[in-house]
């Protein structure tokens, strides 16, 4: 059991959760402040895990769709949504690189929180095809973040507005970063 952003989350040993809860909550606050949500937005949470970020977002937007390849994590996300009486979120069990290219609905915001390897090229191509107005990319590896941002920004469709590093693991070389991109042609 963990309290994150005022929500009660149940965790299982086989599912992923940010171990530095304070730093994760601080980065969530930065994200929420910069997004300045008005409650009408639709948000796609790619690589959503157990709903760590999906559920706080769902409290501030019209709808959240979370996508995660690990079935146990999605089951946990659904349980956490029910536990917190959050009904405007749905979770899909799928690899983001397989699921996203098949979508035609355009979310207002895409939130990316991929593993260390970053986003698969199919994910970035699907985002460029769908053209959401904003992208928030949380990364645990600066090299893959830079690679993926280069693809998104050199497309001519997005510009990087802000980049915020966060020290989730003090006294180590590991740095989390969150990047904020907006469509150049809204």
- Average pLDDT of the chain is 93
pLDDT tens digits, 120-161: 999 999 999 999 999 999 998 999 999 999 999 999 999 999
Q: So what's the pLDDT on residue 20?
A: 67
Q: So what's the pLDDT on residue 170?
A: 76
Identify the bridge partners of residue 115 per DSSP, sorted by sequence position. none
Marked catalytic residue, from 48, 119, 140, 153: 140
C-alpha 81/C-alpha 54 separation (Å) is 9
Please give the model's pTM, rounded to 2 decimal places. 0.94
Q: Which domains does the chain have, with CATH numbers?
A: 2-183 (3.40.50.150)
Burial 101-112 (b: 16+ CB within 10 A, else e): eeeeeebbbbbb
140 catalytic residue (yes or no) = yes
Question: Is the dihedral angle over the CA atoms 158, 160, 5, 2 positive or is it negative?
Answer: positive
């Amino acid at each position: 059991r963990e309290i994150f952003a005022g929500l009660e989350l149940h965790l299982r040993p086989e599912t992923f959760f940010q171990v530095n809860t304070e730093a994760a909550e601080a980065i969530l606050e930065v994200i929420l402040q910069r997004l300045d949500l008005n409650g009408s937005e639709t948000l796609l949470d790619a690589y959503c895990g157990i709903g760590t970020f999906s559920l706080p977002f769902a409290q501030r937007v019209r709808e959240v769709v979370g996508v995660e390849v690990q079935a146990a994590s999605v089951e946990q996300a659904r349980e956490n949504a029910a536990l917190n009486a959050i009904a405007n979120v749905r979770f899909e069990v799928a690899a983001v690189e397989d699921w996203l290219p098949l979508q035609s609905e355009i979310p207002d915001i895409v939130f990316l929180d991929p593993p260390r390897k970053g986003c698969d090229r199919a994910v970035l191509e699907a985002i460029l095809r769908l053209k959401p107005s904003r992208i928030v990319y949380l990364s645990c590896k600066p090299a893959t973040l830079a690679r993926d941002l280069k693809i998104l920004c050199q497309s001519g469709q997005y510009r990087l507005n802000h980049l915020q590093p966060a020290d989730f693991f003090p006294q180590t070389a590991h740095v989390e970063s969150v990047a904020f991109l907006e469509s150049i042609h809204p």
